[in-house]
């Protein structure tokens, strides 16, 4: 059996990030062969990953990044099993590395993100190695991309919620500043769409049906039931679509009105709200 030195164990730990005891065991098993020890540690990660494949990942963090010109925005959700791991510096470093790779390559899907490389390894291989090291499941659960004249962003203080807002019609510092405010609005109010035209038809039909039922239950005349239902649907739009919502920083104006006060051509075309749990 090879005589394994503390220096060799520390070197393997630095390269793989695995624990000292795991590194020593791998080197002993590999009879001192450094590359073989790395393979042993990765196989361990694969075994742990397979064992925990069905575990829930309800903790984690959202990472947000924009291109240098602020015209393209990306966000990812990196999930794990416990809040302890989510708050770990190494977990944060991994998430930032993945979002950097996503932004650098213009990626739009989870599969693309897993296939991207950081250094000599794919993201998927790095995730597997991390799983073997910490002993719990880690996975990418969302990858989003938006493009526009300007991208507003917001990441909540707990790191579990991130928003991208696509703004068109104007650009510049003032637009980015209001874009951040609108992204905070999306985070706080969770609108279902940008405007009424984007609300799915099945939701409109459901709200109209509920409005009619309420009007009938209240004994309203049959000839005005549809008008009442439409009024309730309009109220639903005001509460649940972004541009019609009251602006959280100034309830006297809608989001749309605030955008127009910055530039008459400014509007929102889409948004992405990514959260953990």
Q: In this predicted structure, what is the pLDDT of residue 30?
A: 82
pLDDT at 44 over 80: no
Average pLDDT over residues 37-61: 75
Q: Do 109 and 123 lie in a common domain?
A: yes
57 and 27, same structural domain?
no
Residues 133 and 73 in one domain: yes
Q: Which of 36, 51, 66 is the last residue of a domain?
A: 51
Total number of domains in the chain: 2
Looking up residue 122, the CATH number of its domain turns out to be 3.30.479.20
Q: Is residue 83 part of a domain?
A: yes
pLDDT of 9 reads 80
Q: What is the mean pLDDT of residues 46-56?
A: 65
116 in a domain, yes or no?
yes
Q: What is the DSSP letter of 198?
A: G
Whole-number Å distance between alpha carbons of 109 and 157: 25
- Does 211 fall in a domain? no
Residue 70 resides in a domain: yes
Residue 63 resides in a domain: yes
Do 37 and 5 contact (CB within 8 A), yes or no?
A: no
Percent of the chain clearing pLDDT 90 (strictly above): 73
95 and 118: one domain? yes
Report the CATH number at residue 32.
1.10.8.10
Same domain, 13 and 86: no
- Catalogue the E-assigned strands of the chain: 59-66, 72-80, 117-118, 121-122, 138-147, 150-155, 161-168, 246-247, 250-254, 267-275
Kindly state the average pLDDT of the residues 28-34: 82
In this structure, are 113 and 79 located in the same domain? yes
Residues 21 and 43 in one domain: yes
The pLDDT of residue 267 is 98
- pLDDT tens across 95-117, in order? 999 999 999 999 999 999 999 99
Looking at residue 250, its pLDDT comes to 84
Give me 99's structure tokens: 């979002």
Averaged pLDDT for residues 44-55: 65
Range of the domain at 46: 6-51
- Is 200 inside any structural domain? no
pLDDT at 42 over 80: no
* Same domain assignment for residues 57 and 41: no
Residue 51: pLDDT band with limits 50, 70, 90: low
Residue 39 has pLDDT above 90, yes or no: no
Domain boundary among 147, 174, 207: 147
């Amino acid at each position: 059996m090879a005589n394994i030195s503390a220096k060799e164990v520390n070197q393997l730990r630095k390269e793989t990030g695995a624990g000292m005891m795991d590194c020593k065991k791998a080197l002993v098993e590999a009879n001192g062969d450094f590359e073989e020890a790395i393979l042993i540690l990765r196989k361990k990660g694969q075994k742990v990953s397979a064992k925990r494949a069905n575990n829930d990942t309800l903790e984690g963090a959202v990472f947000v990044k924009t291109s240098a010109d602020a015209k393209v925005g990306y966000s990812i959700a990196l999930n794990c099993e416990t809040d302890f791991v989510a708050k770990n510096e190494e977990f944060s470093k991994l998430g930032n590395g993945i979002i950097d790779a996503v932004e650098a390559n213009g990626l739009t899907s989870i599969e693309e993100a897993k296939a991207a490389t950081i250094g000599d390894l794919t993201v998927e291989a790095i995730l597997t190695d991390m799983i073997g090291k910490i002993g719990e499941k880690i996975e990418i659960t969302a990858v989003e991309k938006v493009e526009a004249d300007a991208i507003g962003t917001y990441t909540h203080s707990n790191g579990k919620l991130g928003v991208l807002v696509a703004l068109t019609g104007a650009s510049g510092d003032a637009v980015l500043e209001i874009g951040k405010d609108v992204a905070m609005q999306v985070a706080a109010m969770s609108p279902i769409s940008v405007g009424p035209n984007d609300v799915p038809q099945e939701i409109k039909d459901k709200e109209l049906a509920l409005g009619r039922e309420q009007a009938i239950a209240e004994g309203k005349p049959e000839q005005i039931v549809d008008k009442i239902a439409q009024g309730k649907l309009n109220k639903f739009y005001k509460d649940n679509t972004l541009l019609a919502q009251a602006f959280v920083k100034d309830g006297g104006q809608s989001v749309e009105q605030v955008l127009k006060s910055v530039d008459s051509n400014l509007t929102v075309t889409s948004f992405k709200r990514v959260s953990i749990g």
